[in-house]
Amino acid sequence: MCGIAGFCNLNTDYTRNSEYWHQILVDMRKSVSHRGRDNTGEYLRRNVGLGHTRLAIRDLCFGAQPIVRNISGKEYVIVYNGEIYNTDELTPELKREGFVFETTTDTEVILYAYIHHGIDFVSRLNGIFAFAIWDEACERLVLYRDRLGVKPLFYTIKDDTLVFGSEIKALFCFPAVKPEIDIGGLREIFGVGPARTPGNGVFKGINEIKPGHYAVFSKEGFNVKRYWELESRPHTDSYEETVDKVSFLVRDAVKRQMVSDVPVCSFLSGGIDSSIVTAVASGYLSGFGLKLNTFSFDFKDNGIYFKSNSFQPERDRPYVDIMLSEYNLNHTYLECDECLLADLLFDVVDAKDLPGMADIDASLLYFCRLVKAHNKVALTGECADEIFGGYPWFYRNELLWTDGFPWSRDISARTLLLTDDFVKELNLDEYVSERYSDSLKSVPFLEGESPADKRRREITYLNIKWFMQTLLDRMDRASMYSGLEARVPFADHRIIEYVFNVPWDMKLKDGVEKSLLREACKDLLPRKLLYRKKSPYPKTYHPNYERLLSQMFTDILNDPNSPIVSLVDKNKAMIFLKFPSEYGKPWFGQLMAAPQLLAYMIQVNYWLEKYSLL
């Protein structure tokens, strides 16, 4: 993967002060240099500047960017972050049309495909991507983002200038763009965070290209077009045909994502999703006489302090060991202690430019840092639960029929520590309700669907558009902060398009959650692992972690210069700190309970302070 950044103003001549604007490009590129330090490059012309920092995965020697090609006297330029998995299918036609390839990168394939097929060519791509193409012939800059939003792409428009980057921090390197927050941004933080409304960058004036969209900046202005969306179609395949199709799609997606000029590893949690990915990847490599590197994550002393609950019924380690007895893997167990975890709460805000999933993000950032010491590319099991119905809100009625986002039912938990006046100003009930109802308006239904089928389609749609995006954001920032490319085979759009329309009784056959995926991959996993209960990403249960958080938050409250003090009711906060944690009642997802609320508030304070927002 890589980092991209740039700016465009069709009424400005950047070459008149080229040294200054070139340095701005360098500063923007440096701000995201953690995403790849193998090569760098800048492109500066009259109306546009593009910068790139590269993590070399394919064509290690000749794949530097920006890539510039001159066609009929006009320049076409690309800066790109991502991986395309169907280049072998796209390249032959381009060669027949006379395009001469100077590299073996997917970057060059994308640029030639744009030149040959036109602006809507993006629908031909299978992959994860965010890229910008400067088209001198048409005098336009086009920003593209992949269908599911695996790769980020933020932008803002200031004084007729489009400024963009892989991460928000790149935008703040441009002179006219400063970090600001308004009430809308605070509502995002306290109302839907750590999720974000699609396209919302939280900071005032900062936006993100939505998944499945591209944007054209030209003399006609800034225009956004959707090129992909979930569609509802009748499912006519039998159960046996459905199982066969899912089996093929999953295996094909994993094999396609093994493409790389550097070794690929996998995250092996012991859950069925990562185990399926690992099994397919291991089988693929064994055909070349190679062994797959795998990594599992846990927390120091979780064997002692783990507490089973309805959301996290058991530990993962025993199931990792089952996979190791079944497959010939080169495995590494990774651990994080509670002290380091608390310290990393700040690093992960630096990585994301926003508060996030607290220690869940922080631990993933740490583990990715350790994995990067061994591999540049990792396969993950993310996104299977959103697609195949693995979360409890798909099948537990009290969650399924919630009038709101099912992973964030209790809005009141989010405001427990805030002053009454601030809570009134936020008006979160109305804000969150509007975000929820707006999303439901876009759900595509089939005529004649039962209320239960319609509701599950709504839940699936919301999960893909909201919850899955939050996890993909987490994975991208945590991995790319150390220059590790994380790939997500289950986010292959072919899988999502197909499974979105599979009836629920096939996904939950005989009352077994994710039974369709289990049946499609039953030959890959030992039975004991195949039918284990879902247990989400691990978190620490060490009591010292809560003590550390309590002390950190108390120190914040006692410092009058802490920006969050003006938002928090100190008496409420001190009462909250005296009560024991309830791990079984998360306020976001399945993992974020009372300790994570404290950690989130610590992150919010650091974020407000870092950007001088209050």
What does the DSSP assignment read for 464-508? IIIIHHHHHHHHHHHHHTTT-EEE-GGG-HHHHHHHTTS-HHHHT
Residue 325, class by beta-carbon neighbours within 10 Å (0-12 exposed, 13-18 middle, 19+ buried)? exposed
What does the alpha-carbon distance between residue 276 and residue 551 come to, in Å, rounded to a whole number?
41
Per DSSP, which regions of 166-290 are E strands?
Answer: 207-208, 213-218, 221-226, 264-267
The contacts found for 406-409 with CB under 8 angstroms, 24 or more apart, are 406/459, 406/462, 407/467, 407/588, 407/589, 407/590, 408/192, 408/195, 408/432, 408/587, 408/588, 408/589
Backbone conformation region of residue 330, classed left if phi is above 0, alpha if psi is from -120 to 50, else beta: beta
Please tell me the total number of residues recorded for the chain in this structure: 614
Which DSSP letter does residue 271 get?
Answer: S
What does the alpha-carbon distance between residue 481 and residue 492 come to, in Å, rounded to a whole number?
23
Three-state secondary structure along 51-87?
EEEECCCCCCCCCCCCEEEEECCEEEEEEEEEEECCH
Phi, psi angle pair for 164, to nearest 5°: -140, 160
What does the alpha-carbon distance between residue 143 and residue 69 come to, in Å, rounded to a whole number?
18
Which among 476, 258, 488, 482 is positioned nearest to 370, based on CA atoms?
482
> ∠ CA(421), CA(190), CA(591), 5° rounding?
135
Asked if the bond preceding 563 is cis, omega within 30° of 0, the reply is no
What does the alpha-carbon distance between residue 522 and residue 247 come to, in Å, rounded to a whole number?
9
Which among 571, 563, 576 is positioned nearest to 609, based on CA atoms?
563
Tell me the β-bridge partners of 598. none
For residue 526, give the amino acid letter: P
Find out whether 42 and 22 touch, Cβ atoms under 8 Å: yes
**Is 368 an active-site residue?**
no
Tell me whether strands 140-145 and 127-135 are parallel, antiparallel or unpaired: antiparallel
Tokens linked to 584: 């079984």
Catalytic residue chosen out of the listed positions 2, 8, 173, 383 = 2
Tokens linked to 14: 């950047």
The contacts found for 448-457 with CB under 8 angstroms, 24 or more apart, are 452/504, 453/503, 453/504, 455/400, 455/401, 456/389, 456/394, 456/400, 456/504, 457/232, 457/500
CA Rg, the chain, in Å?
Answer: 24
Tell me the β-bridge partners of 78. 67, 133
Q: Is 429 part of any known ligand binding site?
A: no
Find out whether 357 and 310 touch, Cβ atoms under 8 Å: no
- Reduced to 3 states, what is the DSSP secondary structure of residue 237? coil
Residues taking part in catalysis: 2
Cite the annotated binding site for L-glutamine by residue number. Answer: 106
What are the binding residues?
106
